Structure 1
Amino acid sequence: MTRAGLAAARSSTAQLAGIIPRMSDEQWELPSACDGWRVIDVVAHLAALASEAVDPPPPDPSLPKNRERYHDLRVDQRRGWSHAQVLDEWRCSTPRQLDLLEAAQEPPGADEPVDVPGLGRYPRHLLANTMAFNVFCHLRNDMLAPDGPLPFTLPEATDDQVAPAVEFMLAGLPQMQGPELTATVERPLVLDLTGPGATTVTVLPATGPDGRLTVAPGADATTQVHSTALDFIVWATTRKPWRDHCRITGDASAATPFLDHLDII
């Protein structure tokens, strides 16, 4: 099970909760590093995710199929809310979301597959890692300096916080972009991620009936992409160019199309 994901989600959530009381009204209105979102909109996004986790809305075929546009819609629905209303939703729904994620670590339901619209299918226990990824990534990359506008500091990110976020990203990599990304991998590629959250995996071309890439542990290819795991969270979500953070060994022409197209949500 991914109890490490649950611990990471709790850790980053506690860090966000510690920053919120230090914020001024003016700071909530500053543009975040997430394009088109103010700082308060980032929290509105996390609050919306939490509320939908504890009280799932009924299916609505009119909603955007693209996950990023769906998130924009949910944030837009909250733009007329006061700061207090957004924070109240976050404070109310987040503990309940964490409780649900804790319950999801227990058998027999822990391995039950869950469809996340626009993102793929995951075992229920891995949903804790999605929250770990979301809170960690938005807090550290979109809200806080140097990339975000807020002048607050946090302790250095730990392996316990980073590894679960990376685990979710690698689980989502074969699913989120479908044929567009699959077509870029004709030969195995290694992702060698170092520092906190370090891991090494091989991205294998699609061979099975589902037509998806496979991410396997270990290094089983001569073409390798080297990066820190912290930087992977930034460039693999297209917040920054991969060329500024990656070193390729082996055949760069085999890795470049994959890196150009990768966009984990």
Structure 2
Amino acid sequence: MTAAGVAAARSSTADLAEIVSRTEDAQWELPSACAGWRVIDVMAHLAALATEAVHPPPPDPGLPRNRERYHDLRVDERRSLSHREVLDEWRHSTPRQLDLLAAAQEPPGADEPVEVAGLGTYPRHLLANTMAFNVFCHLRDDLLAPAGPLPFALPAPTGEQVAPAVEFMLAGLPQMQGPELAAAVTGPLVLDLTGPGATTVTVRPADGPDGRLTVVPGAAPDSTAAVHSTALEFIAWGTTRTPWRDHCRVTGDGATATPFLDLLNIV
């Protein structure tokens, strides 16, 4: 199970609550590093996710299938709310969201597959890592300086916070972009992520009936190239918040890694 994902989600949420308590009213209107969203819109997004976890909406085929457009829609629904109303929703729903994610670590439902529209299908217990990723990434990369507008400092990220976020990213990598990304991987490609949250995996070309890439632990001896960066940097460049070329060192046949790196965009 991914109890570490629950712990990471709680830890990053506590960090976010600390930043919320220090943010002045005018700062909520500043543009975040998430294109098109103000600081308060990032909080509206997290509030929407929490509320939907607690009170899942009925299926609606009219909603966008593209996950980014879906998030934009939910944020737009909250643009008429005051700062206080957005923050009150976040404060109200988030503790219950965390409790539900903790309960999802227990059998028999922990391994039940859950479809996340536009993102793929995951075992229920891994949804905790989804929250750990969302809160960590939005806080550290979109809200706080130097990338974001809020001039507050937090302790350096820990491996316990970073690793579950990276685990979700790697679980989503084969699913989120489908055939487009799969076509860019022509040979086994190693991702060597160091520092807090360190892990090494191999992205293998699609060879099954589902046409998906596979991500397996360790560095495969038949790999064509290896991409080296820190795990913390991977959260930024793997979501296209910063260019991969600013962070990555490629060894082996770089020409086989570049198409994959140019296309990768984990939501």
Aligned counterpart, 1:243: 245
AA partner of residue 262 (structure 2): D
CA distance in 1, matches of 2:200, 2:260: 17
CA distance in 2, matches of 1:222, 1:206: 15
CA distance in 1, matches of 2:212, 2:69: 24
Q: For 1:40-119, what aligned pairs fall within 5 Å after superposition?
A: 40-119=40-119
Deviation at 1:195, TM superposition (A): 0.3
Aligned counterpart, 1:14: 14
CA distance in 2, matches of 1:203, 1:222: 11
Unaligned segments of structure 2, at least 5 residues: none
Spell out, residue by residue over 1:184-214, the C-alpha distance to the aligned partner (whole angstroms, 9 max, x if none).
Answer: 0010000000000100000000111111000
Spell out, residue by residue over 1:2-21, the C-alpha distance to the aligned partner (whole angstroms, 9 max, x if none).
Answer: 00000000000001111112
AA partner of residue 179 (structure 1): P
Spell out, residue by residue over 1:219-254, the C-alpha distance to the aligned partner (whole angstroms, 9 max, x if none).
Answer: 011410000000000001000110111000000000
Aligned counterpart, 1:136: 136
Count of paired positions: 265
Unaligned segments of structure 1, at least 5 residues: none
1:160 aligns with 2:168: no
Choose the corresponding residue for 2:264, options 257, 262, 265: 262
CA distance in 1, matches of 2:106, 2:61: 32
- Aligned with 1:111: secondary structure? coil
CA distance in 1, matches of 2:224, 2:197: 22
CA distance in 2, matches of 1:87, 1:97: 15
Q: Please, what TM-score do these two structures have when normalized by structure 1?
A: 0.99
CA distance in 2, matches of 1:29, 1:162: 28
Deviation at 1:164, TM superposition (A): 0.2
Aligned counterpart, 1:218: 218
CA distance in 2, matches of 1:196, 1:264: 20
AA partner of residue 224 (structure 1): A
CA distance in 1, matches of 2:180, 2:75: 27
Q: Please, what TM-score do these two structures have when normalized by structure 2?
A: 0.99
CA distance in 1, matches of 2:138, 2:42: 7
Query: Residues 187 and 224 of structure 2 are in contact (CA less than 8 Å); yes or no, is this contact kept in structure 1?
Result: no
CA distance in 2, matches of 1:248, 1:200: 14
Alignment root-mean-square deviation, CA: 0.5
- Aligned with 1:110: secondary structure? coil
AA partner of residue 40 (structure 1): I
AA partner of residue 232 (structure 1): F
The list of structure 1 runs, each at least 4 consecutive aligned residues, that deviate by more than 4 angstroms after superposition, is none
CA distance in 2, matches of 1:107, 1:67: 29
CA distance in 2, matches of 1:70, 1:143: 21
Query: Residues 28 and 39 of structure 2 are in contact (CA less than 8 Å); yes or no, is this contact kept in structure 1?
Result: yes
Aligned counterpart, 1:234: 236
- Aligned with 1:109: secondary structure? coil
Spell out, residue by residue over 1:166-185, the C-alpha distance to the aligned partner (whole angstroms, 9 max, x if none).
Answer: 00000000000000000000
Query: Residues 224 and 256 of structure 2 are in contact (CA less than 8 Å); yes or no, is this contact kept in structure 1?
Result: no
